[in-house]
Amino acid sequence: MANALYFLCPLLIMMMLFINATASKSIEEAEQFQSLSNSTMANRLSENDELKHEHAEDDPEAIASMVATSIRNSTERRKLGYFSCTTGNPIDDCWRCDRHWVRNRKRLADCSIGFGRNAIGGRDGRYYVVTDSGNDDPVNPRPGTLRHAVIQDAPLWIVFKHDMVITLKQELMMNSFKTIDARGVNVQIAYGACITIQFVTNIIIHGLHIHDCKPTGNAMVRNSPSHYGWRTMADGDGISIFGSSHIWIDHNSLSNCADGLIDAIMGSTAITISNNYFTHHNEVILLGHSDSYIRDKVMQVTIAFNHFGEGLIQRMPRCRHGYFHVVNNDYTHWEMYAIGGSADPTINSQGNRYLAPVNPFAKEVTKRVEPWEGSWKHWNWRSEGDLMLNGAYFTASGRAAPRSYARASSLAAKSSSMVGTITSNAGALSCHIGFQC
């Protein structure tokens, strides 16, 4: 059972669970976690009264402020006309000016911002070229398939030989230190199982089209060269992040899955979700599985430069417990609400553009899943420099940002006028060799 995966588990309890029950998955595992958290974990937590995660920041406001600075830096450079290709989007400006991006693919790993900024993916490993879009064998994956690439123990930067549609029979269980980089080709993960990031670290997912993900499960699935186990039913998420950290999800197009497009739960943290294009879906992003799982207080997520587009209904995102920095996103369609939450999450909304729907009863950006105002009055939900269109409004609560960050915030706020430009290339890019992406 020597498995690198286990050594990377942040919590002993998670490791024990995983070893003990190769037979568990999302919801069932979640239930087990809850009962564990009622007994062992809860007791331990009440003893030292402190929640810590080795990958969570002690001062999330400082990271939010750093994001504001990098946005300001990029917009300033644009104004000064330093590079003709600068867009004001600091992630894109970090690499998209380079027409030799094929030669320099791994430079992408240094371009993230926010809580997932230290995700290096497979930067320090070899390239792996996926050549085979079919032949998905969940237990004995064939060399040349995406599944064979992602389960390896060594770091890998995974690229694709040509355009392909990959229909997975079971969840794609990723091992740590992997980048999936679909620049230059059109790669769709569709019509089957999709991506699971469970008990691992350092994952970068860039440039995929992920859609029509289906529930799968009740099957054996391999997650490393030396280990496979039984998976119960998976809900059909586009990307499911479970007990994992240092994750960066950038420039993907996601739509129409059976469950969430992106879910991050069970003590996941250090995550950046940027430049994605979300469409045609009900429950878009879930961050935190249950109100009772207080370990998710360590959850820290940056949501930046995404386009939440046509056919979306709710949860962009829906948050619990942690700290969520929602900055410079373009919300052009929701049917119920944009940002929801329960269990006292901190929501720091800066420089977004919120376009409310026509429905007079759906103008509110925010939704508290908690009927009694007395209990959410102190939740720290704030909006700074957001652009409210068509009657959109954000119901703030709790205390304002600490004074020391006010300056950086006001600068970030200005750029809401640039959200259209900054997010105009959200989703998977169309890149050609020898040209800027």
Active site residue 315: yes
Q: Does 38 bind ligand NAG (CB under 6 A)?
A: yes
Q: Does 131 bind ligand NAG (CB under 6 A)?
A: no
- Closer to ligand NAG by Cβ: residue 70 or 179: 70
Name which position in 70, 306, 328, 425 contacts ligand NAG (CB under 6 A). 70
> Nearest-CA neighbor of 384 among 398, 371, 394, 374?
394
User: For residue 117, how far is the Cα from the chain centroid?
Assistant: 12
Dihedral of alpha carbons 220, 12, 319, 120, sign: negative
- Closer to ligand NAG by Cβ: residue 15 or 68: 68
Nearest distance, CB of residue 266 and ligand NAG, angstroms: 14
Name which position in 16, 20, 27, 35 contacts ligand NAG (CB under 6 A). 35
> Nearest-CA neighbor of 178 among 436, 4, 2?
4
Place of tokens 């939900």: 381
Q: Does 69 bind ligand NAG (CB under 6 A)?
A: yes
Q: Does 40 bind ligand NAG (CB under 6 A)?
A: no
**Among 64-72, 253-261, 369-377, 427-435, the segment contacting ligand NAG (CB under 6 A):** 64-72
> Nearest-CA neighbor of 179 among 190, 195, 166?
195
**Among 31-39, 149-157, 212-220, 313-321, the segment contacting ligand NAG (CB under 6 A):** 31-39
Nearest distance, CB of residue 69 and ligand NAG, angstroms: 4
**Among 69-77, 78-86, 158-166, 328-336, the segment contacting ligand NAG (CB under 6 A):** 69-77
- 315, 318, 320, 368: which is the annotated catalytic residue? 315
Q: Report the C-alpha gap between 80 and 368 in whole angstroms.
A: 42
**Among 32-40, 165-173, 328-336, 348-356, the segment contacting ligand NAG (CB under 6 A):** 32-40
**46 Cβ neighbours under 8 A, 6+ residues apart:** none
Nearest distance, CB of residue 80 and ligand NAG, angstroms: 11
Nearest distance, CB of residue 101 and ligand NAG, angstroms: 21
Nearest distance, CB of residue 39 and ligand NAG, angstroms: 8
- Closer to ligand NAG by Cβ: residue 35 or 390: 35
Q: Does 34 bind ligand NAG (CB under 6 A)?
A: yes
Q: Does 256 bind ligand NAG (CB under 6 A)?
A: no
Q: What is the DSSP string of 310-343?
A: TTEEE-TTEEESSEEEEES-EE---SS-SEEEES
Number of residues this chain uses to bind ligand NAG (CB under 6 A)? 7
Q: Packing angle between helix 12-20 and helix 26-36, nearest 10 degrees?
A: 130
Could you give the C-alpha distances from 297 to 15, 180, 269, 294, 425, in angstroms and in order?
A: 20, 29, 9, 6, 33
- Closer to ligand NAG by Cβ: residue 51 or 66: 66
The strand ranges marked E within 54-190 are 126-130, 156-160, 164-166, 172-173, 178-181, 187-190
- Closer to ligand NAG by Cβ: residue 381 or 405: 405
Nearest distance, CB of residue 406 and ligand NAG, angstroms: 17
- Closer to ligand NAG by Cβ: residue 66 or 387: 66
CA dihedral 313, 210, 154, 117 (to 10 degrees): -40
Q: How many CB atoms lie within 10 A of CB 229?
A: 17
Q: What is the DSSP string of 261-285?
A: SEEEESS-EEEEEES-EEESEEE-E
What size, in residues, is the chain? Answer: 437
Nearest distance, CB of residue 93 and ligand NAG, angstroms: 10
Binding site for ligand NAG (CB under 6 A): 34-35, 38, 66, 69-70, 73
Give catalytic residues, as residue numbers: 315
